[in-house]
Structure 1
Amino acid sequence: MRSVALSAAASAASLASLASAQLDKPVIDPEFPSGALDQGLNDHLRAPGSSWDAWEEGWIPEDCKNMIEGTEFSVQDITPFNIHYDDCEDPWVFCRHKDSPLSEDYIVDAFGKMPVRFRSFVRHMLFVPGTESAGSSGDNVQMNGDLPITVFIHETAHSFDGHHGLPDIEGGFSASQAWLDAYNADSAVTDDYGQTSQAENFAQQTVVALFDSNVPDGVASIQPSWQSIENQFRLIQDRAADILRPDGTCTSRLENSAPVEKGGSARLRPSASTKPDVSLKGKIKVIEPVPMGAEMEMAQYDASGKVVGTKVVKVGGRE
């Protein structure tokens, strides 16, 4: 689910308004089989070699702290950890609550299966326990409960969308005339969630585009009516081919948010000498981050993985 706060990149007001409006096309018929997209992606995407290591106690990335302060959980129960992948010189820094049902190993594998240049549009992810739901603010993602790889892809797609992904599109990919033309050329959208706005439709279509690019026989192997959404996912494949290609190395990255103290009693406060160095060391282009908003809209999932509602949560420390 996209952040309530609009991306700074979404400056074309007339197009951006279309990206947030309820869509008028029906859901594809028949609907996608439950779990089929997850299964195909997990079977055919390969994560690079990887390792992870936890931060010393007392520090947390500022953006993770802001997200956790918008929940009922304590920042003291969050452990930041570095994820090192063989296809990028610099690690990602993610944050996990001690009771999250998603283990560090699962997180490293699921995130690593996404193409590295697509992965590069995520700054931090926060994983907490609770009813299955997910949302994003700026370039950060919050994941509640036990969530599959399609949710990782969907939330990353919002950040990719907000950064355009493509140099010749203004106002975000999902607000561009090229995207609206592709939408208008089709007769359906992926699901009920994709019907809610062009931003959500784009994110869902990105999941389909990645599946079609990497699974033998593509989306036609699980969806007999695939041609009714073809113009949309083909546009993503054609215009973002390098970003969605599952090979190569990272060429650009978001900088990490600054390490800050978790706070609490003096006993829990770290020494300045242990402050993590989160600066990027690799010779890559730095992507300017999108600021976090004051609120984040979370999509809520049922046991089958279908979105059944939304909720808005505060992002701590934001006005």
Structure 2
Amino acid sequence: MLFSSAFLVTLLGIAGVQADLKDKLAYPNGLHDKVDAGIIQHTNPEQHNIKKWNNGLIPSGCKVRFTELGINPQNTEVYNVTYAHGCLQPWIFCRANNSPVDIKTMASLFGRIPLHMRALVRHPISVPDDSCSALAYTDRGDIVFKGNCKTPSVWIHETGHQMDAMLKPNDAESGSQAWKTALSKDSCVPDSYANVNAVEDFAQVTVIALYKVITGSIPKPSVPGCFSNQLNTILNKYRAKYLIYGGICEGKVPPSRFVRKDAQDRVALEEEDKNKTVACGVKFEVD
């Protein structure tokens, strides 16, 4: 599946974003078609166990996300997904009943991401939509996939936003002087998604950085080395801790507190929404 033509859906809490970072793209026809097959070929999903909740409860973070999107929390499903290695605590996944992405696919795609990247995500969430788009709530750790998002690079991209922000979006690496310097030294960014702003650029370069760790190389860009400073900045800072597979569980974002699906729990919603910041949203259109 080929994805192209990204546009910004939401940017809250990030002021003065810059559009069109560069006039050259490393992959003018889009990055995802270049990397998804290689990621699938060279990774295996971490073995995992899935257990559905049947107690009428839901994490408050999921309830807020669904409520924001106009989805009745009673028409949703909650699952514990426990991966075999590195972390005894399960991740709590949430999905709307009619989401086009089933829980087995969600758990499998998430399980292709290295453990310490996964640990930065609180709740993976899936909801229906006509096409694939995604949001990263970088002060909470939630990643929301709208529509038929079944390609690993999209999941890596959204997890990359969490690696960028580390729950502190105002101090994100993509806003640092180091990232600005890397951008200034390079003549291109990966693709049109990356060209929206530095936040999206960081997430797309993260996809390529992980691809390089997985396969040992990157897809041939339009101009050799045109984004090497961005790529090396991520590899130098994050490779050893976040991009290498294996390890033990540490720093896992804890789940939000549990509330009843059918309760009008305004306290929980207001508490969850307090000072909320959404890092970004990108729509992935199918050619």
TM-score, structure 1 as length reference: 0.76
2:60 pairs, out of 59, 62, 80, with 62
> Does the 8 Å CA contact 2:11/2:281 hold for their aligned counterparts?
no
The answer to whether structure 1 residue 28 and structure 2 residue 31 are counterparts is no
Residue of structure 2 in register with 1:270 after alignment: none
Change in Cα spacing, 1:292 to 1:91, as seen in structure 2 (3 Å) is farther
Residue of structure 2 in register with 1:90 after alignment: 89
Residue of structure 2 in register with 1:48 after alignment: 46
> Does the 8 Å CA contact 1:174/1:202 hold for their aligned counterparts?
yes
Residue of structure 2 in register with 1:107 after alignment: 106
Change in Cα spacing, 1:49 to 1:29, as seen in structure 2 (3 Å) is closer
The answer to whether structure 1 residue 239 and structure 2 residue 246 are counterparts is no
- Bigger Rg, structure 1 or 2: 1
Q: Secondary structure at the match of 1:246?
A: coil
Paired with 1:23 and 1:91, the residues of 2 have a C-alpha distance of 40
Change in Cα spacing, 1:178 to 1:197, as seen in structure 2 (3 Å) is same
Paired with 1:150 and 1:182, the residues of 2 have a C-alpha distance of 23
Deviations 1:78-136 (A, max 9, x none): 11101101221111001011221111111111101101001111101210111221112
The one-letter amino acid of 1:159's match is: Q
2:155 pairs, out of 145, 152, 156, with 152
Which consecutive unaligned segments of at least 5 residues does structure 1 have?
7-15, 266-288, 305-319
The one-letter amino acid of 1:61's match is: P
Residue of structure 2 in register with 1:79 after alignment: 77
Question: Counterparts of 1:1-319 in structure 2 under 5 Å?
Answer: 4-6=11-13, 20-31=17-28, 32=30, 35-86=33-84, 87-131=86-130, 132-137=132-137, 138=139, 139-147=141-149, 148-163=151-166, 171-216=171-216, 218-220=217-219, 222-223=220-221, 225-241=223-239, 242-263=241-262, 293=276, 298-304=281-287
The one-letter amino acid of 1:136's match is: A
Change in Cα spacing, 1:290 to 1:42, as seen in structure 2 (3 Å) is farther
Deviation at 1:258, TM superposition (A): 0.5
Change in Cα spacing, 1:178 to 1:164, as seen in structure 2 (3 Å) is farther
> Does the 8 Å CA contact 2:49/2:81 hold for their aligned counterparts?
yes
Count of residues in correspondence between the two structures: 266
Q: Secondary structure at the match of 2:120?
A: coil
Q: Secondary structure at the match of 2:188?
A: coil
Deviations 1:35-83 (A, max 9, x none): 2211111111222221110111411100100010112322111111011
> Does the 8 Å CA contact 1:2/1:200 hold for their aligned counterparts?
no
> Does the 8 Å CA contact 2:58/2:78 hold for their aligned counterparts?
yes
Deviation at 1:292, TM superposition (A): 6.4
Sequence identity of aligned pairs in percent? 26
Change in Cα spacing, 1:172 to 1:82, as seen in structure 2 (3 Å) is same
Change in Cα spacing, 1:185 to 1:152, as seen in structure 2 (3 Å) is same
Q: Secondary structure at the match of 2:155?
A: helix
Bigger relative contact order, structure 1 or 2, given CA contacts below 8 A and separation 6+?
A: 2
> Does the 8 Å CA contact 1:101/1:129 hold for their aligned counterparts?
yes
For the aligned residue pairs, the C-alpha RMSD in angstroms reads 2.7
